[in-house]
Structure 1
Amino acid sequence: MTQAIVVERDGAVLTLRLNRPEKKNALTRDMYSRLAHALEQADADASVHAVVLCASAQCFTSGNDIADFLQDPPVDLSSPVFCFMRSLMACRKPVVAAVAATAVGIGTTLLLHCDLVYVTADARLRMPFVNLGLSPEFGSSLLLVQRLGQARAAELLLLGEGFSGAQAAAWGLANAALEDGEAVWRAALVAAHRLAALAPAAVQDTKRLMKAPGREQLQRVIEEESWLFIQRLSSPEAMAALSGFINKGSPKTL
């Protein structure tokens, strides 16, 4: 059976690769649990100095697997998706993301919590939460306003407008927009090994200091977003939109 999360080790660099190509790397509860566990292990392992989060050259992730999500929706903050969020936020080791092609929903919002992000210039990123009767998650309602301003954040979150990897880099949401998936993977790996070669404690202290301002506010916002997301999932608006995706045979992701 193919592993949906592939964990690989190269010296002091740990790579977590989404590996569900037949479903465009749509994330399931099990995948969230595996990612959370791997991040927690990496954080506790002194021999791991950096983490790379990646997928394939064809797709980063199309978001949540709706069928899986609705089969056992999150009912409280102990649900796997929220455990993954906390693990990524709490990881003291630098996390480098390599994004090619498509990043939908949490595939985009998780990038706001990575330390370095490399994308293909033609990547398509989108957060269609409101379009599906849902609300933003993973701190995006706070972080996007802070980074992009109210007007642009409203386009992305209220209208659910997509944007390219080139735009992400121009707006400061990514470090670089490169020509293809191979270039993105190389850039992420080079950056991770550069980080791994530095003094681990100094890297971790610097990451902590950079993220310290506003951290308590961000945690409060994520908690409020999470509870609202849980409530919205059972709303008539969301149920109609999500059921329509499944019944019409549309891509079953968000």
Structure 2
Amino acid sequence: MIDRHDDGVVLVTLNRPDVRNAMTDGMTAAWRDAMTALAADRDVRCVVVTGAGTAFCAGGDLSWLGERGVEPVPELRDRMLAFYRSWLSVTELEVPTIAAVNGAAVGAGLCVALACDLVYAADEAKLLAPFTSLGLHPGMAATYLLPHRAGTALAREMLLTGRTLRGTEAADKGLVNQAFPRNDLLAQVMTIARQVAANAPIATRLTKAALKQDHQHLEAALSWESLAQPVTMTSADMIEGLAAHRERRVPKFTGS
């Protein structure tokens, strides 16, 4: 379910609350189509992802997973790779993305949340990656996303023991940015999204691109910034930003 706001914020809701928003082929196709449409929409400035009902996403539908066991490994590899890439297409959006983890985020569902640029969780939301307890190797880039977000030690503990973190603990350990009371979560996240959307679109997109590169040394960062910053210095938005600062008013950025 997609809800577009006039300020450029788009709310994407995983909407299968009767099964805790578990992933199926149909849901995967709908998600892929939604990401494709958002990527092509130049009016979008920030995307928020949340879940309907009491869960964010319970991960792969277990009945769907059970049916896969009859397929040969080469075909399964192709199927799973397409599945992963469909859901992780959220990382290909040029605009900032925010996950509002309103309830349980399990396995692949947790990975989709962690694939967003910013992650906020309800205080009591459960975050876990119980792959090995189901007899599965982790998937959906869990072995990359978990250590990349919160460090190797926590990633090992979550993936090897199946440990569950509540939202408050996940915030304390850096797995999510911040935790809020469940009833306040979406309102708080939408406020943050509006702050992101209000910033200059070109500068914001280029900043996201820089952060995705994960510069390994100082010179790599300088090489990128010495090109990207001059691009924004020639934009109408920079002129507007400077004028608004000088005149002590809110800037009106147009993305030009």
Q: Structure 1 length normalisation: TM-score? A: 0.75
Matches within 5 A, 1:1-254: 6-11=1-6, 12-56=8-52, 58-71=54-67, 74-76=76-78, 80-180=82-182, 182-213=183-214
- For the Cα contact (< 8 Å) 1:33–1:80, is it kept in 2? no
Match of 1:23, as an amino acid?
Answer: V
User: Could you say which structure has the larger radius of gyration?
Assistant: 2
Match of 1:169, as an amino acid?
Answer: A
Match of 2:143, as an amino acid?
Answer: S
Compared with structure 1, are the counterparts of its residues 62 and 214 closer, same or farther at alpha carbon in structure 2 (3 Å cutoff)?
farther
Give the match's secondary structure for 1:92: coil
Q: Which 10-residue stretch deviates more, 204-213 or 106-115?
A: 106-115
d(CA) in 2 for partners of 1:78, 1:59? 23
- For the Cα contact (< 8 Å) 2:122–2:185, is it kept in 1? yes
CA apart distance, 1:75: 4.0
- For the Cα contact (< 8 Å) 1:17–1:54, is it kept in 2? yes
Compared with structure 1, are the counterparts of its residues 104 and 78 closer, same or farther at alpha carbon in structure 2 (3 Å cutoff)?
closer
Which residue does 1:228 correspond to in 2?
none
d(CA) in 2 for partners of 1:154, 1:104? 16
d(CA) in 1 for partners of 2:29, 2:119? 23
Could you tell me the percent identity over the aligned residues? Answer: 33
d(CA) in 2 for partners of 1:130, 1:103? 16
- For the Cα contact (< 8 Å) 1:32–1:80, is it kept in 2? no
- For the Cα contact (< 8 Å) 1:77–1:83, is it kept in 2? no
Compared with structure 1, are the counterparts of its residues 23 and 78 closer, same or farther at alpha carbon in structure 2 (3 Å cutoff)?
closer
d(CA) in 2 for partners of 1:79, 1:150? 24
Compared with structure 1, are the counterparts of its residues 156 and 129 closer, same or farther at alpha carbon in structure 2 (3 Å cutoff)?
same
Match of 2:205, as an amino acid?
Answer: Q
Structure 1 gap segments, 5+ residues each: 1-5, 216-254
Compared with structure 1, are the counterparts of its residues 101 and 78 closer, same or farther at alpha carbon in structure 2 (3 Å cutoff)?
closer
d(CA) in 1 for partners of 2:80, 2:145? 23
d(CA) in 2 for partners of 1:104, 1:57? 15
- For the Cα contact (< 8 Å) 1:96–1:117, is it kept in 2? yes
Match of 1:29, as an amino acid?
Answer: D
Name the structure, 1 or 2, with higher relative contact order (CA <8 Å, separation 6+). 1
- For the Cα contact (< 8 Å) 2:31–2:87, is it kept in 1? no
CA apart distance, 1:122: 0.9
Structure 2 gap segments, 5+ residues each: 217-256
Aligned positions, number: 209
Give the match's secondary structure for 1:125: strand
d(CA) in 2 for partners of 1:79, 1:139? 10
- For the Cα contact (< 8 Å) 2:16–2:52, is it kept in 1? no
